Amino acid sequence: MPRQSSARHGLTQLVVTSRWFLLACNEPLATLSIVPSEGDIIGVTFDHVQLQFYVNGKLADGCVASNLHTLVYPVFYVDDGAIIDVNFEKFYYEPPQGYSCIMKEQDML
């Protein structure tokens, strides 16, 4: 089980680095067990408690952030002219059982 990092100001920053390490507040939590290559598809699931990563539809074992119980704000960064395609619906690989596309939040006011 990955260790949990103390959150600053009630926020935890989770980062997957270019070397495929999962960091929380700059502390290493895990490494992806499957190292993606160019053209691979990286999937992410979140169930309000655990954040898990998939490569080409297969679970990257050991790369799990647990006990989050918080809001999640996904952010993507690229460097050196890298290109990233992001898709939140119509998936190439079916999501794991119990998961579906990200639903847009609705403002009732």
Report how far residue 24's alpha carbon sits from residue 15's, in angstroms, rounded to the nearest whole number: 7
- Looking at residue 107, what is its pLDDT? 65
Q: Quick check: pTM over 0.85?
A: no
Q: Are 83 and 38 in contact (CB under 8 A)?
A: no
Give yes or no for a contact between 62 and 52, defined as CB atoms under 8 angstroms apart.
no
CA dihedral 73, 44, 77, 39 (to 10 degrees): -160
Give me the tens of pLDDT residue by residue for the chain, a chain 109 residues long.
344 433 433 556 777 777 777 777 778 777 777 888 888 898 888 887 888 888 899 988 777 777 766 677 777 777 787 888 888 888 889 888 988 887 776 666 5
Residue 106 CA, chain-centre distance (Å), reads 23
Q: Which amino acid is at 20?
A: W
